Amino acid sequence: MSTAVDPQGARAGGRGVASQLTSEQVWRELGKASFAVVAHVTPDGRPRSSGVMYMVVGRRMYVVVATDSWKARHIELGGQVAVTVAVRRGGIMSLLAPIPPATVSFHGTAVVHPAGSLEDGELGRKLTRMLPSERRASCRVIEIEPEGWFVTYGIGVSFMRMRVPDLARARVPVA
């Protein structure tokens, strides 16, 4: 169980403070959500981002994309991505106060698997829930392994603390 520690020790400068948030808590939040924004760079160096549906299995995030999509082609070439997941926080307070959504962001290494390569086994069975049967053979799976730190906002804190950026931010080792 890894506890958040800002390696720069930055209380000042708007980088957040250490919290009791753990990597296990962050992984649980990622496992509850299903939509993320994945950013990558095109072969000519232009930034791109796309919304994707995902599933967490173990310590990996899996995204299913069309075989001819920009995501599949560009991520396969570069292998590096940045990911942001908005974490839904419900309740009446979100309607009464201007509170931003909670988020988890990280960078990681991505591997684009060939169409049909993960159909067998337990992972394949889990991923089939993400797609209609007629599209399964024509899709590729992007496997994302988070690296370094999760950068969070509003995870593991009350709505009232989310209004104070220095209390709402944390950096947690991916572990």
CATH number of 33-154, picked from 2.40.128.20, 2.30.110.10, 2.170.150.70, 3.40.50.300: 2.30.110.10
Query: Under DSSP, is residue 173 helix (H, G, I), strand (E, B) or coil?
Result: strand
The structural domains of the chain, with segments of one domain joined by +, span 33-154
What percent of the chain lies above the pLDDT cut of 90? 47
Q: Say what the pTM is.
A: 0.83
Asked if 102 contacts 91 with a C-beta cutoff of 8 angstroms, the reply is no
**What integer pLDDT is reported at residue 119 of this predicted model?**
66
Q: What are phi and psi for residue 28, nearest 5 degrees?
A: -60, -45
- Say how many C-beta atoms besides its own lie within 10 A of residue 119's C-beta: 14
**What integer pLDDT is reported at residue 79 of this predicted model?**
92
- Distance, in Å, from the CA atom of 49 to the CA atom of 155, rounded to the nearest integer, reads 23
Reported as a single tens digit per residue, the pLDDT across 99-155 is 678 999 999 999 998 877 766 677 777 777 777 677 767 788 899 999 999 999 999
User: 4 versus 44: which is more confidently predicted?
Assistant: 44
**What integer pLDDT is reported at residue 90 of this predicted model?**
66
Question: What is the average pLDDT score of the chain?
Answer: 83
**Cα–Cα distance list, 12 to 18, 143, 153, 166 (Å):** 12, 36, 17, 9
- Say how many C-beta atoms besides its own lie within 10 A of residue 60's C-beta: 15
Chain-centre distance of CA 75, in angstroms?
A: 15
CA angle 146, 152, 155 (to 5 degrees): 120
